[in-house]
Structure 1
Amino acid sequence: MAMYRKLGKKTKLRKALLRNQVTQLVYKGKIVTTEARAKEIQKIVEPMITLAAKEKDNYDTVTVQVKQAKKDKDGKRLKEEKDGKKVSVYETVDKQIRKDQPSRLHARRQLMKFLYPVVEVPAEGKNRRKNTKEVDLVAKLFDEYGAKYADRKGGYTRAIKIGQRKGDAAMMVVLEFV
C-alpha cells in the first residue's frame, strides 16, 4: 500500500502541483480541485496549521529606534538644503518589532520551505508596478490561522463534493478551511 497518491504525475510535477495548491489554499482560504488532490493537500496543510497554532505566541516584542524620513501631508519626503544639495530630513522613532524564539523561527523556515511566494498585483492603474506587493503567507499562517485554530485539535479543512467534472467525470470538491 502506498503512503501517498501519485496523481498520474512524475515526482517533480506532482510536488510542484501540490505546493501550488497548498499555497493557493493558504492565500485564498478555498480552492476547487479533484477529490484525490484534495486528500493529498489536506495531508500537507493540516500539520502546517498545527505547527502554526503551536508556535503562534512564541515571540518576544522588542523596542528599537529607527531613522525614518519625515513626510508631508501628501506622503512625499521633506527635503532641506545642505551644502547646495537637497537631502531628506530624518527623525528617530521607537518601533515595536517581533523577534521570533528559536522554535518559531525553525517553524517559520519549515513553512517557507514548502510555500511559494505570492505577489499581489493591482488589476488596473498606472502604478501597477509600484503598488505590487509580496504577501507574507507564513505570517498569515501564524497570525490568522494559528490564532483561529489554537484550541482545535485537527480537522482544520473540509472537502465538500460539488459533482463530477464534465471532461473526465472526476469528482470535484471545494477544499476550504473550517
Structure 2
Amino acid sequence: MPGTRKLGRTSDSRNAMMRAMVTYLLENGKIETTVTRAKDVRSMAEKMITLGKASDLHTKRQVYAYITKEDVAKKLFDEISPKYADRNGGYTRIIKIGARRGDAAEMAVLELV
C-alpha cells in the first residue's frame, strides 16, 4: 500500500476506507474528500488503473482482491483502462475546493481525467 499517512485510523480501518474510496471513485468518476485522503486514494486508484491495462489473469485477481464491487472491477477492465491505454500515469486530478464548514478541513475533489 503506497503512502505513509495514518489518517488517524488503525491499519485495518484505513485499508477498508481506502478500498471503499477507490471503488467509489472508479464507479462514479469523482469523489469529494479531504486533501490528504485524496492524495492517498489517488495513488491506489492509479495503481488499479495501471493493473487494469495489463488485463491478464494475475492482474485481474489482484484487482478483484482490492476492489469491493465486482461490477466496478469489470468496468475498470472494460471501460476505464482502455481509455487510458496510451497514457503513462496521471489518470486522476485533485482540485482543492476550500475549507469544510465545521472543522475547517481542507477539502478537494478527486476525479478521473
Q: Could you give the per-residue CA deviations for residues 104-162 of structure 1, whole angstroms, max 9, x where no partner exists?
A: 12111100111112xxxxxxxxxxxxxxxxx6112211111111000001000001111
AA in 1 matched with 2:41 = I
TM-score for both structures, normalised by structure 2: 0.93
Quote the offset at 1:33 in angstroms.
0.4
Aligned to 1:86: none
Unpaired runs of at least 5, structure 2: none
8 Å contact kept, 1:54–1:150: no
Higher strand proportion, which one?
1
2:96 maps to 1:161: yes
Aligned residue in 1 for 2:68: 116
Q: What residue identity is the alignment partner of 2:94?
A: A
Moved more, 31-40 or 138-147: 138-147
Number of corresponding residues: 111
Indicate the structure with greater helix content. Answer: 2
- Per mean C-alpha deviation after superposition, the further-off stretch among 45-54 and 17-26 is 45-54
Query: What is aligned with 2:33?
Result: 33
For normalisation by structure 1, the TM-score amounts to: 0.60
Identical aligned residues as a percent: 51
Contact map agreement 1:111 1:138 (CA 8 A) in 2: yes
2:53 matched to 1:53? yes
Which residue matches 2:24?
24
Between the aligned partners of 1:106 and 1:137, the Cα distance in structure 2 is: 18
- State how 1:74-93 maps to structure 2 within 5 Å: none
Q: 1:171 aligns with which of 92, 97, 106?
A: 106
Q: Secondary structure at the match of 1:143?
A: helix
Match of 1:58 in 2: none
Cross-structure match for 2:59: 107
Instruction: Kindly report the root-mean-square deviation, in angstroms, between the aligned alpha carbons of the 2 structures.
Output: 1.1
Tell me, yes or no, if structure 1 residue 144 matches structure 2 residue 79. yes
Distance (Å, rounded) in 1 between the aligned partners of 2:71 and 2:59: 14
Instruction: Identify which of structures 1 and 2 has the higher relative contact order when contacts are C-alpha pairs closer than 8 Å and 6+ apart.
Output: 2
Q: What is the SS of the residue equivalent to 1:44?
A: helix
Q: How far does residue 168 in structure 1 lie from its aligned partner after superposition?
A: 1.2
- Please report how far the alpha carbon of residue 169 of structure 1 lies from its aligned counterpart in structure 2 after TM superposition: 0.9
State the shift of 1:54 in Å.
2.8
